[in-house]
Amino acid sequence: MRDSRSGTGQTGWWIALVAATLLAPQPVPAHVLSVVDGNSLISVDPHSQSGLQDWEVDGTDHLFQQWFWVRRGDGGKERSLDVLPLVTEEIVDANTIHLRYWQGPLVVDVRYDLMGGAPGSGGSWIKEKVRLRNRSEQTLDLHWFEYTDLDLNGTAGGDLAAFVPPALMLQFDAPTLAAVFTTNIVPSHWEIAAYPELLEELNDGLPTTLADAGSGLVPGDWTHAYQFDFTLGPRERVCIHKRKDILPVPVIPEPASALLFGLGGLGMVMR
C-alpha cells in the first residue's frame, strides 16, 4: 500500500524548491548600457568580457576594453566578473551605470559615473566605484583584478605607458593623455604589457599574480592591470574608488619627452 504521506512530502519539497528559486537573485537579459554627458559617451556590456567597451570623447573612442576578474583563494583560476550571475543592471541617472553581481557569499557592485567636458575640449572623466561584500559568516579570501586596454585617439598602436607609484597609470598618444588611478586604496600589484599578454594571463586557467613590472617607453599597443588582495571577515565589505581621466596636452615631437611631459603634469591630473 502506498504511503499516503508521500504525496504531501513531494508537494512540500516542490513548494520549497519553487520558493527558493523565486527568492534567489535572478539573472537579467543581455543588453548594452550607454550614457552620455557633455562631450562624452560610455558603453558597458555587463554580460561579457567586453565590459566597459567604449569611451567616446568628442566623437573619438579611446577605449577598447576595461573589465574585472576575481579569484577566491590562492589556488585555482580567476574568473571574469560576467561569469557571476548579474542581478542588477541599471542607468541610475543620465550619466551613471550601476551593475550588481551575486554568487554565493560574494556580492559585487560596480558603478560608473561619467563626467564629460565641454564640446570640443577633448577632456572627460569617469569615476568608478567597486564594492565587494562578504555576506557569509566565514572569512573570504579575494583577489580582484582590473584590466584596461586604452586605444587613445582611436588607434591600437603608438601609445606610451608608465606606472607612477603608488597607484597611477599614465598612457599617452599625442595629443591625448590618459590617467587611471585609485583614490583610496593602493593596489597590491600592477603590470604593464603589450596586448594580448595580460588578457591571456587572466584567462589561462591558472592563478595570476601581477609582476609589479613593465613599461611602455616604446610606442605600442599597451595594456595594464591592477590587482587588489583582500581578506574579508564575516559580513565585511571593501570599496575601491578609481578615476579615469582623458586630457588633451600639447603635441611634443619625441615620445620620451611626451611621456615626461605627462609625468610633469601629474599634479594637474590628480586634482
Counting residues of the chain whose pLDDT is more than 70, the rounded percentage is: 81
Q: What is the pLDDT of residue 250?
A: 73
Whether 163 contacts 224, CB under 8 Å: yes
- Which secondary structure element, helix H or strand E, spans residue 91, and what is its range? strand 86-93
Does residue 48 contact residue 82 with C-beta atoms inside 8 Å? yes
| Spans in the chain with pLDDT lower than 70 | 1-30, 251-271
Q: What are phi and psi of 17, to 5 degrees?
A: -65, -45
Cα–Cα distance for residue pair 71/130, rounded to 1 Å = 15
pLDDT in tens, 59-108: 999 999 999 999 999 999 999 999 999 999 999 999 999 999 999 999 99
Decide if 95 contacts 114 (C-beta within 8 A).
yes
